[in-house]
Structure 1
Amino acid sequence: MPFAEIDHRRFHYQDTGGPGPAVVLSHGNLMDGSMWDAQVAALRGEFRCISWDERLHGRTEDDGAPHDYWASARDLLGLLDHLGIERAALVGHSQGGFLSLRAALLAPERVRALVLVDSSAAAWPPQALAQMGQIAEGFRSGGPRAVAPALLDLLLGPGDLHTGLHAAWQARWERQPRERLATAVNVLMAVAELAGRLSEITAPALVIHGAADQPVPAALGVMLSELLPGAEPLVLIPDAGHTPPLTHPEPVNAALAGFLRARVTADAAG
């Protein structure tokens, strides 16, 4: 099981290896690197795919302290250093997009391209913050079983449509300490507005968004695609909620592979 020692933390990651251009896939809040398994399976061989567990998630070993997404962006850049990767395409879902945008601002010379899936550059409105506060408190006081049914409906869609996914992710949450889960949600709540700096990010970009996303409405994906100078037309996944890499992998894989071949493979060869 590979780990990278970065700033006194041990980050769990998976690396397919190979000579292809590097693609780093960063997961959303309360997920882990395994959420990208379908995408890695579709891309491996053609691309070197690296998925990882961010702070407070999965098998990564950290101090459990709160942080911000600038720190997570530095973690990602540290992972590139650990792996000896000079430049990579960054693919991020939700909070994985938050940290990928910040990595592109911190080290633009290291980012070949950006793919943002159901992500945003906006701060949360009061109603969303209140809801997330209740979720964090639910994890602390009652554990995953207290929040899983409603929260997994938000993240993955109705349980009657995605029974296996709901069960798998609830089981993952139940292996984590309650306080760790709650702190991860508190970190999410504190994300700051970044829209005013998107014009500084000139890397080729693709925005993919679930048309039925409730936590991060599709209008926020539209905003990203309009404000990022190098963005392709928005890819909207019909009927998909907040986590289409898990619930709608085929259209996500098609859009992702097409963009990477057009924008990253050619750049790496040239």
Structure 2
Amino acid sequence: MKPKGSWRAGHETIGPLRMYYRDWRPAGGGKAPAVVALHGSLVQSGMWIPVAEGVGKARFICPDQRGYGLSSDPGSGDSAADFARDAIGLANALMLDRFTVMGHSFAYAIALEAARMEPERVAAAVLVDPTVRDASGHQQNLGRAAERPASFPSFAETLRWWRENEEGGWPAAEVKRFLREVMVAEGNGGPCRAPYTQERLLRLRAFQASPGSDYGIGAAKHVKCPVLIFRGSLSRRLSAQAERRLRNALPNGAQSVLCRKSGHFPSVSEPKRFNDALRKFLAGTR
């Protein structure tokens, strides 16, 4: 079925950053809720294309975050607060009075920080398999980043690696589309590379593992808007215990959706369950 809406794209200058973004406008969506959707640290904004089209009844503004995809890399500014200021700056440039902020993986901390900074404008927060880690967890993640391949000789090899190394179910059609949207490919089936440089990923991971890191649940105590958490039952990034810690840190708690066939990417593994739950949640945030 053809999606009912249309995509636009552009760049905005936010401080030292030239930020690329995709903008989904649903058909007849004059009063549709707006969502600023923030991708995780291993992909780029294309991860949200199937979600925006599947939800249908919301406007999705999906930026490539600093150092990712078609956005520039200022070379510094890797805190959750820096990323949150980028997202708020984009919302300002697009004249969004009120919006939901959604963050996948590490971007959960960015979403919480944006909600803390703009309590009158952020209608709700959606946290997709948030990577709630302590200091030792961030240190281990830094080590894993150095071992993660940044390029593959073909699309077929990219697909094989993701299926073998990323937990959860990977439906054939959904994972192929996902990888085409988030990887940078040369030709049809040719070499693929990650939408970031290895140096960029390592710089982010080093900050997350540093004493000055703000990638934790500290901002949660200031967030009083409605919060929805998606957790992949098979995820290695978010345990049930870590999710409880996050929920308990939020003054008003959170709604939770458990995706039993999913790992770290529930929007890919279980798109219908994910989109239906998100659509229902957004309907109550106007």
TM-score (norm 1): 0.82
Q: Which residue of 1 aligns with 2:13?
A: 5
CA distance in 2, matches of 1:155, 1:124: 23
Give the secondary structure class of the aligned counterpart of 1:16.
strand
Q: Which residue of 2 aligns with 1:268?
A: none
Of residues 163, 176, 192, the one that matches 1:164 is 176
Q: Which amino acid aligns with 1:244?
A: P
Q: Which runs of 5+ in 1 are unaligned?
A: 266-270
**CA offsets per residue over residues 47-86 of structure 1, 9 Å max, x none?**
2211111112111112333521110010011011010012
After TM superposition, the runs of 4+ consecutive aligned structure 1 residues lying more than 6 A away are 148-152, 158-163
> Is 1:134 paired with 2:120?
no
Of residues 16, 23, 29, the one that matches 2:24 is 16
Q: Which residue of 1 aligns with 2:5?
A: none
Counting aligned pairs with the same residue, the percent is 26
Question: Which protein is richer in helix relative to its size?
Answer: 1
CA distance in 1, matches of 2:179, 2:226: 37
Q: Which amino acid aligns with 2:89?
A: G
Q: Which runs of 5+ in 2 are unaligned?
A: 1-8, 186-191
Q: CA RMSD in A?
A: 3.0
Give the secondary structure class of the aligned counterpart of 2:120.
helix
> Is residue 80–residue 113 contact of structure 2 (8 Å, CA) maintained in 1?
yes
Q: Which residue of 1 aligns with 2:281?
A: 259
The alpha-carbon deviation at position 97 of structure 1 amounts to 1.1
The alpha-carbon deviation at position 230 of structure 1 amounts to 3.1
The alpha-carbon deviation at position 194 of structure 1 amounts to 3.8
CA distance in 1, matches of 2:116, 2:19: 22
Of residues 169, 178, 203, the one that matches 1:183 is 203
Q: Which residue of 2 aligns with 1:94?
A: 105
> Is 1:111 paired with 2:122?
yes
Q: Which amino acid aligns with 1:115?
A: V
Q: Which residue of 2 aligns with 1:29?
A: 41
TM-score (norm 2): 0.78
> Is residue 152–residue 166 contact of structure 1 (8 Å, CA) maintained in 2?
no
Go from structure 1 to structure 2 and tell me whether the alpha carbon gap of 1:158 and 1:185 turns closer, same or farther (over 3 Å shift).
farther
**CA offsets per residue over residues 200-220 of structure 1, 9 Å max, x none?**
211011111101110232332
Q: How many residues align?
A: 259
> Is residue 215–residue 242 contact of structure 1 (8 Å, CA) maintained in 2?
yes
> Is residue 266–residue 274 contact of structure 2 (8 Å, CA) maintained in 1?
yes
